Structure 1
Amino acid sequence: MMPAIQITNLQKSFGEARVLKSISLHVEEGEMVALIGSSGSGKSTLMRHLSCLTLADKGSDSEIEVLGTPVQSKGKASKDIRRTRARVGNVFQQFNLVNRLSVLTNVLIGGLSRVPVWRSMLGWFTREEKQEALKALELVGLREHALKRASELSGGQQQRVAIARALMQKAEIILADEPIASLDPESSRLVMETLERINRELGITVVVTLHQVDYAQKYCRRAIALQGGEIFFDGPITALDGQMLSRLYGTQMGSEPASEPVADSTPNPAYELKPA
């Protein structure tokens, strides 16, 4: 079985500054991985490479494959990158919803890559597509808000709508870049529980960048830590003790044991789940 994500010797510079230094790693299908590290360590830059939102240095021997398909090689995007992007859902810190549209329409937008161009331009969706979008909203606990404008929801609710949009997209991988950075603790908990649940019950691979180590310890089984553009740690989340975290962040941190991870279950590609 091919890894969901395979990165080989990824190098990225901005001017004279080397942001990523020969990063090599892989993520297996069905994993939920926390990407951690201090600000400026290269987490978000690494994430952007996976969808070709950023290209590696030209002339380098960097290679990135997602779902067994090359997305970029030696600083050049693959010719069929759009097809691969359709299989990867992105969840951003700022939600990226259309505030004037309804919650339901924002979720339906996730399926535009699968409908004819004329229908996408008119914004016309079938009854079946609307039912599918409602099912995605039910999964994230927001079905009752389907007809509200996105602007009427709280930040945490909007972030869960963004996750539902990725489900409507039928994403096989979800890349969540600092999804709880601007949220209060309760909203952060609900967003992370939603990501953990779709990973556990649907088998969707999730990679999430986090500043909050305690959330990484509670919801993820594996951590990849970056420091100065290099991999500082890659392994079980339980191995990240206080001493190692202090070395990573350069400050004294506690060494409380990580929460017991939730057991795996068989993925359901049809998204047919009972509501929480």
Structure 2
Amino acid sequence: MPAIKITALRKSFNRVAVLKDVSIEVQKGEMVALIGSSGSGKSTLMRHLSGLTFANRNSPSTVEVLGRKVQQNGRPAKELRATRARIGNVFQQFNLVNRLSVQTNVLIGALSRIPTYRSLLGWFTDEEKLKALEALESVGLRQHALKRASDLSGGQQQRVAIARALMQEAEIILADEPIASLDPESSRQVMETLQRINREMGITVVVTLHQVEYAQKYCSRAIALKEGEIYFDGSIDGLETSLLTDLYGTRISEGTLGSQAHEVPAKHAHLDLNPELNPV
């Protein structure tokens, strides 16, 4: 049973097709890079996996995660809430509560498993608090547990978000542009953290990236989208310079792969102006 199975996924915004019959399978324990220029549909695809966005109504689209349907024919599945509890999301903007401590932000990952009255009161057991510290240890931040989240650097906050997913006991982590706003050293630490928990804990990781060199260094497989369709799906070693040049619509030379691949073709630039209408 694959960790993720997408069949004939179609999505349009304002009658503009963003995803066109996309079908993908990701096996358990894989670490997959989802790449492509801005406007290619990467983030929209990721949002479908956790039911944050739904396919076109009455389309034949199906999204399954860990053997359970997330959505079918553009409608949420009955088991969506239970499936979401097994999916950890890491966003570009960290999505932490800045006024709360680092440890409390990690504990938030347990809310789906504790009684409602305890979640409303913010009441966590000593065992849960210890588990949060262990999650922080896994990402190298245990010593910062009592600090306010706002006191950490961007890279550290992103690793707290990963620890929150570990606290959630997520079996899949979806990381959407987790290093887009980080400096090179922080980017390295975040990607190494994702790679380590993938290898040591067997957690399936799907990460969207603009920086192709990070995909090549940390992921074993790449799925490339171009204009809403699968352009490449295979071993990371198959990402040859000529393929990437065609994918990103600009000349890419060896040694400048990452910076050049981040360029956005002019015909896609308008899609970034309104992320609510075009979350790609």
Calculate the TM-score normalised by the size of structure 1.
0.92
**Structure 1 position 186 matched with structure 2 position 198:** no
Q: Percent identity?
A: 73
Question: 1:268: which partner in 2?
Answer: none
Give the letter for the 1:47 counterpart.
M
1:221-242: CA deviation from partner (whole Å, max 9, x where unpaired): 0000000000000000001011
Please give the secondary structure, in 2, of the residue aligned with 1:128.
helix
Question: 1:94: which partner in 2?
Answer: 93
Question: 2:136: which partner in 1?
Answer: 137
**Structure 1 position 251 matched with structure 2 position 227:** no
Please give the secondary structure, in 1, of the residue aligned with 2:120.
helix
RMSD: 0.9
Question: 1:214: which partner in 2?
Answer: 213
User: Is contact 2:87-2:173 (8 Å) kept?
Assistant: yes
CA distance in 2 between counterparts of 1:173 and 1:9 reads 21
**How far apart are 1:110 and its partner, in Å?**
0.2
1:79-105: CA deviation from partner (whole Å, max 9, x where unpaired): 121000000000000000000000000
User: Is contact 1:243-1:255 (8 Å) kept?
Assistant: no
1:56-91: CA deviation from partner (whole Å, max 9, x where unpaired): 000100011000001100000001210000000000
Question: 2:160: which partner in 1?
Answer: 161
Please give the secondary structure, in 1, of the residue aligned with 2:233.
strand
**Structure 1 position 20 matched with structure 2 position 19:** yes
User: Is contact 1:93-1:179 (8 Å) kept?
Assistant: yes
User: Is contact 2:31-2:219 (8 Å) kept?
Assistant: yes
Question: 2:40: which partner in 1?
Answer: 41
Give the letter for the 1:96 counterpart.
N
1:1-35: CA deviation from partner (whole Å, max 9, x where unpaired): x0000000000001120000000010000000000
Question: 1:202: which partner in 2?
Answer: 201
Question: 2:150: which partner in 1?
Answer: 151
Please give the secondary structure, in 1, of the residue aligned with 2:33.
strand
1:185-242: CA deviation from partner (whole Å, max 9, x where unpaired): 0000000000000000000000000000000000000000000000000000001011
CA distance in 1 between counterparts of 2:211 and 2:127 reads 39
CA distance in 1 between counterparts of 2:116 and 2:52 reads 23
Please give the secondary structure, in 1, of the residue aligned with 2:155.
helix
User: Is contact 2:68-2:79 (8 Å) kept?
Assistant: no
Question: 1:230: which partner in 2?
Answer: 229
CA distance in 2 between counterparts of 1:6 and 1:254 reads 34
Give the letter for the 2:54 counterpart.
L
User: Is contact 1:241-1:255 (8 Å) kept?
Assistant: no
**How far apart are 1:254 and its partner, in Å?**
2.9
* Paired residues, number: 256
CA distance in 1 between counterparts of 2:27 and 2:77 reads 22
Question: 2:121: which partner in 1?
Answer: 122
Give the letter for the 1:156 counterpart.
G
The runs of 4+ residues in structure 1 deviating greater than 6 Å are none
Alignment of 1:45-124 (within 5 A): 45-124=44-123
Give the letter for the 1:169 counterpart.
Q
CA distance in 2 between counterparts of 1:254 and 1:111 reads 46
**How far apart are 1:255 and its partner, in Å?**
4.4
User: Is contact 1:223-1:237 (8 Å) kept?
Assistant: yes
Greater CA deviation, 30-39 or 116-125?
116-125
